[in-house]
A and B are shown apart, each in its own frame.
Chain A
Amino acid sequence: MDSSYTILILLIPIFTFFLLGFNFKRIKEPTSGIIGTALIGTTALISYFTAFQYFTGAMKGAIVDGVYQKVYTMNTVWIEFSDTLHIDMGILIDPITAMMLIVVPTISLMANMYSIGYMHGESGYTRFFAYLSLFTFSMLGLVLSTNIFMIYIFWEMVGVSSYLLIGYYYNKPSAVLAAKKAFIVTRFADFGFLMGILMLGYYGGSWDFKVLSDLGFIESLQQAYGAVFMGLSVITWALILIFMGGAGKSAMFPLHIWLPDAMEGPTPVSALIHAATMVVAGVFLVARLFGLFHFMDDGAALTVVAYVGALSTLFAAIIAFTQHDIKRVLAFSTMSQIGYMMLALGVSGYSGHDGLGFMASMFHLFTHAMFKALLFLGAGSIIHAVHSNYMQDMGGLRKYMPITHITFLIAALAISGVPPLAGFWSKDEILVAALHDNTLIFAVGYIVAGMTAFYMFRLYFRIFWWNEPNYKHTPHESTNTMTIPLIVLAVMTIVSGFIPFHNLVTADGAHIETHIDWATAGASVAVGLVGILIAMFMYKKENTISKRFRSGFGNFYEAAFAKFYIDELYMFVTKKIIFAKISAPSAWFDRNVVDASMNGVGNGTVWIAEKIKGLQSGKVQDYAMFFISGVVVIAMLFWFFI
């Protein structure tokens, strides 16, 4: 079957965007929500069909000798720089793309459907759905890219969609600031990304993924470029810079500061963009270039990925302990889980059983998208009911919101790695892979598994148990359009762990054999349960244990609560150094030195004119005087020189 229908995956969302965007005054609530949901639903169906075709091998060229291939369903030159170097626009389908073709439209569809109810009565209702479509378009474009420059293009587009959606409540100063921060921080990371792409293009000679993932090509690069700086080759440096872009989008330490603030956006946006899809773009990017990352300089760049991932996962988990805003807890949890995926990629080998980390990372990406979106949508449902983001205003909600309660519990269990839910399977694979490669990283992963269980159940118990505060309005369960997505995602959370990922998504496209490593699995479940039990002990009923813990940790708690002052550091650098010490002086310099010297030339001319104006007095006697002086001078000259 001809696969050019895949273009529809991109065309429908962008059409939706223009349809809703151009008519944002004419199309009213709830029509726009329904249009958006229906069209994204269509996109989702086509995407599922594509993924199905690909995985079953029905797509032409998808499987050769039992190995999944990269399939270009279309590819045209967009900007040509030289014969080998050009930016193409096309559609690439391979296992990770096909997987993302399930994740992105699913979550997007759920977010759209959920928003029909959630955004009820907002003034920019239609605008919201237009933005969601724009984001879906950009994200799908990103995952379908055939070359790294195309990824960069859609990378910027998702950045802008994210900016627009975070700043959706644009009359709220904090939302505007958060949007700006998100865009600028990721833009800064993209500066590295772009430099990396340029380096890769110049030294590597191609941006095309088929070329870049070709092992022979990687081998030739390995031969061609020796160490240039700090013992690493120029290609490795390019990869590290590219990873900087990925770290920016995926909120890895130290470029994570925008993610917590991004929670200013409406909750479906947080679920879609800042939990399930856009933030995993960095993971996707590393996975895309996995061959290069793994083979160049024996995986030096990949080691960077592993350690950045490990640091971020631990760092975020600690902060998540202390936050009171439930969306922020989830944001740090997201950062932590993405760090998990990064470290899994970092410890992975390329083929066979060594490639377990890659597979596990993708698996976790998939399952995480489901349960984290569920958690966010659940949080949105809660926020909708109690009109607050803070735990202090919540408690005992299990009685009022049964569906939200059950689905939230399922997601929390899944993220804590309780079998047989999705999180258990993917997390277990990650820990096995880490154990094979690097004990330190395994230790971090193991501890974080326990911490995750603790802070998630702190959240759960604090929201649904604890003591009831005095609710002004009695909370009630949300409308159907909001609860259906919760149920769908809960089902996905339960079943997605059983998807045979090891047969579908691997680094080299071939199947790998996996088996449950019961020792590791048992240990990870145990640590998860310990976390849950501690949380239950501390938060099930109202008590003062957590207060005592808090004062026990003292300064450390304060530091963690303030997110280890990283924001303050950035603020100091940007406001005090870049604004005050560079920008303002530049502007001053421009006015008072450059411009003044230009004006000085003009004023100098005027000044000289003023001075010599007196010569033109109109008096015959003066003129005679000048004339005679001139004669005398010339006479003198003749006298002395001739």
Chain B
Amino acid sequence: MDILSLFVIVPVLTVIALMFTKGQNNYRVVTAIGSGVQLIMAFNLLYQFLAIREAGNTDTMVFMQDYMWFKSMNIHYAIGVDGISVLMIMLTSIIVLAGTFISWKVDDLAKEFFIFLIILAAGVYGFFISIDLFTMFVFYEIAVIPMYLLIGLWGSGPREYSAMKLTLMLMGASALLLVAIFGLYFNSNVDGGALTFNIFEISQVNIPVEAQKLFFPLAFIGFAVIGALFPFHTWSPDGHASAPTAVSMLHAGVLMKLGGYGVFRIAMFLMPEGAHYWSEFFMILAVIGVAYGAIAAVSQTDLKYINAYSSVSHLGMVLLALLMMNEVAWRGAMLQSLSHGFITSLFFALIGIVYGRTHTRDIAKMGGLMTIMPIIGTLYVIAGMANLGLPGFSGFAAEMNIFVGAFQHPDMFHRIITIIAVSAIVTTAVYMLRLVGKIMMGPVMEEYKHLPAITWYEKAGTFVLVLFSMLIGIFPFFWSDIIDEAIKPFIQGILSV
């Protein structure tokens, strides 16, 4: 079995194992083992990947495999990875493991909960390894559907409403995406040859400019909805607010990354002229998302809403950077995806931990928690600092790449967009400090005096996320090298337009 397909097979095996497991404690142990194996596989993959690059392999994609799936339509199960997919897989495996630890105390239908969680992960892994549009789409849907059940069954608050809204909006986006995929498919033989879903074969074809102008926005919006593009971000606050902790972590940490990744891998790579034609329009939407997400976060009172809007702001930055269309900005976009993955899932984990103790997410009702739970408080401050882009954490390296990349366009339009984007660093500081100040600092509240301290599994889940955020923040050159080299073949089409 090849090294990549294992990423789909191991989750499936975990699910099967879970089905035959009995006993509340065993479910989580099985899940933890399964996600642990995935983590080891992810690092093994990273190691193998670096080794193969070291050995002088300069192919765009490595570990490629290709199996025919539907002959009549030329659909393949085609897989392969480059540096970016490897890093994304690593991110996923870490967050899945952290999420498992954070969900240690899920008692209600625990078996089903973990099964859906693992299915979701399988979909995400599949998405990151696919290089065939159709396979990719299938995995995308596999990742989105369990979300409905996870929120609808294990969520809180108006969970059915949120689950429905989230799923419907993402499904609507998938519909647009599917149209775009078929648009690409039926234009893939304009130079002769067979119709194909393989992105590298399509990239060799000169898709007519008119078709690109038509299908680029469909593909872009199709992916950007899951990347919380303004004004299609509204599923995010409600969805995150209702979702259980691990689901929020996976969703914000990994699933929302599919958006930026898809735009990078498909929309812009396959339709460079379309990208140029539409870039300014979408750039305006993205920058509105950046500024507006941050501003809206300032006056929220629910912990999860604050974080959801913060995600809108940070992921707006990813889309903005992609639309800036140069190597530095793209590297920033990828780093930001990774960085946001670690930081925001850390945040959601901490919110879950705090909520599990105080049973409220209203920041006005909390205060002085630092005194009662010093480690959680410290982690919260660290997460806040990381989120507002403190050097030493991943957010800083990512944002600086984005800003420098954005600054390479000397015209007035891009300058204004850049200035608005940079100003978000101030707004982010405002809402992060307001949050930390309100709930962690201030006088100790009587009713919270006896809250329990952090447990070992919560520590395990959060420390690993902090660690990786710092690894990116302190050694950005290591990650940028991997990313740079993966971006090059993808940006050439864009740069040559």
The answer to whether A and B touch in the complex, with CB atoms under 8 Å apart, is yes
Chain A residues engaging chain B, CB cutoff 8 angstroms:
24-25, 77-82, 85, 87, 149, 152-154, 156-157, 160, 163-164, 167, 170-173, 176-177, 179-180, 183-184, 187-188, 190-191, 194-195, 198-199, 201-202, 579, 582-584, 586-587, 590, 594-595, 597-599, 602
Q: Is B292 an interface residue (CB 8 A)?
A: yes
A590 to B407, CA, bound (A): 29
A583 to B300, CA, bound (A): 9
- B contact residues around A590 at 8 Å (CB): 234, 237, 292, 296
Task: Give 1 or 0 for each of B35-74: 1 = CB within 8 Å of chain A CB.
Answer: 0000000000000000000000000000000000000000
Q: Is B98 an interface residue (CB 8 A)?
A: no
- A contact residues around B469 at 8 Å (CB): none
* Beta-carbon nearest neighbor of B425 in chain A: A191
Q: Is B391 an interface residue (CB 8 A)?
A: yes
The majority secondary structure among interface residues of chain B is helix
Chain A nearest CB from B419 CB (Å) reads: 7
Chain B nearest CB from A256 CB (Å) reads: 18
8 Å CB contact of A173 from B388, B410, B443? B443
Q: Is the pair A177, B437 in contact by a Cβ cutoff of 8 Å?
A: yes
Q: Is B368 an interface residue (CB 8 A)?
A: yes
Q: Is the pair A195, B299 in contact by a Cβ cutoff of 8 Å?
A: no
- B contact residues around A586 at 8 Å (CB): 292, 295-296, 299
8 Å CB contact of B444 from A152, A171, A199, A202? A171
Q: Is the pair B231, A194 in contact by a Cβ cutoff of 8 Å?
A: no
* Beta-carbon nearest neighbor of B164 in chain A: A602
Q: Is the pair B441, A171 in contact by a Cβ cutoff of 8 Å?
A: yes
* Beta-carbon nearest neighbor of B424 in chain A: A191
Q: Is the pair A79, B480 in contact by a Cβ cutoff of 8 Å?
A: yes
A191 to B418, CA, bound (A): 12
Chain B nearest CB from A394 CB (Å) reads: 28
Q: Is the pair A167, B441 in contact by a Cβ cutoff of 8 Å?
A: yes
Say whether, besides A173-B443, A583-B299, A587-B296, A79 and B476 are in contact (CB < 8 Å): yes
Say whether, besides A79-B400, A153-B396, A184-B433, A198 and B426 are in contact (CB < 8 Å): no
Q: Is the pair A198, B407 in contact by a Cβ cutoff of 8 Å?
A: yes
A172 to B441, CA, bound (A): 8
A405 to B383, CA, bound (A): 45
Chain A nearest CB from B291 CB (Å) reads: 9
A170 to B373, CA, bound (A): 13
A82 to B480, CA, bound (A): 13
A136 to B28, CA, bound (A): 45
* Beta-carbon nearest neighbor of A602 in chain B: B168
* Beta-carbon nearest neighbor of B476 in chain A: A79
Please provide the 5 A-B residue pairs with the shortest distance between their CB atoms, ordered closest to farther: A170-B441, A595-B234, A153-B391, A583-B298, A176-B441
Q: Is the pair B426, A85 in contact by a Cβ cutoff of 8 Å?
A: no
The majority secondary structure among interface residues of chain A is helix
Q: Is B6 an interface residue (CB 8 A)?
A: no
Q: Is the pair A198, B396 in contact by a Cβ cutoff of 8 Å?
A: no
Q: Is the pair B477, A171 in contact by a Cβ cutoff of 8 Å?
A: no
A179 to B423, CA, bound (A): 21
Say whether, besides A154-B391, A171-B371, A176-B441, A81 and B328 are in contact (CB < 8 Å): yes
B residues 133-188 touching A (CB-CB < 8 Å): 164-165, 168-169
A79 to B392, CA, bound (A): 13
Q: Is the pair A156, B480 in contact by a Cβ cutoff of 8 Å?
A: no
Say whether, besides A582-B295, A594-B231, A194 and B403 are in contact (CB < 8 Å): yes
B residues 209-258 touching A (CB-CB < 8 Å): 230-235, 237-238
Q: Is B379 an interface residue (CB 8 A)?
A: no
- B contact residues around A154 at 8 Å (CB): 391
Chain B residues engaging chain A, CB cutoff 8 angstroms:
164-165, 168-169, 230-235, 237-238, 292, 295-296, 298-300, 328, 368, 370-371, 374, 381, 385, 388-392, 396-397, 400-401, 403-405, 407-408, 410, 418-419, 422-423, 425-426, 429-430, 433-434, 437, 440-444, 476-477, 480
- A contact residues around B418 at 8 Å (CB): 198
- A contact residues around B442 at 8 Å (CB): 170-171, 173, 176
- A contact residues around B397 at 8 Å (CB): 79
- A contact residues around B437 at 8 Å (CB): 167, 176-177, 179-180
- B contact residues around A195 at 8 Å (CB): 419, 422
A480 to B184, CA, bound (A): 79
* Beta-carbon nearest neighbor of A79 in chain B: B476
* Beta-carbon nearest neighbor of B291 in chain A: A586
Q: Is the pair A81, B419 in contact by a Cβ cutoff of 8 Å?
A: no
- B contact residues around A167 at 8 Å (CB): 437, 441
Say whether, besides A584-B299, A598-B234, A79 and B441 are in contact (CB < 8 Å): no
Chain B nearest CB from A40 CB (Å) reads: 20
Chain A nearest CB from B393 CB (Å) reads: 10
* Beta-carbon nearest neighbor of B437 in chain A: A176
- A contact residues around B232 at 8 Å (CB): 598
A79 to B327, CA, bound (A): 13
A179 to B433, CA, bound (A): 9
Q: Is the pair B368, A171 in contact by a Cβ cutoff of 8 Å?
A: yes
Chain B nearest CB from A264 CB (Å) reads: 12
Q: Is the pair A587, B401 in contact by a Cβ cutoff of 8 Å?
A: no
Say whether, besides A79-B401, A602-B168, A184 and B429 are in contact (CB < 8 Å): yes
List 25 A–B pairs whose Cβ atoms lie within 8 Å, in order of A's numbering: A25-B374, A77-B477, A78-B476, A153-B391, A154-B391, A156-B390, A170-B368, A173-B443, A177-B437, A180-B437, A188-B426, A190-B425, A191-B426, A194-B422, A198-B418, A198-B422, A202-B407, A582-B295, A583-B295, A587-B298, A587-B300, A590-B296, A594-B233, A598-B231, A602-B165
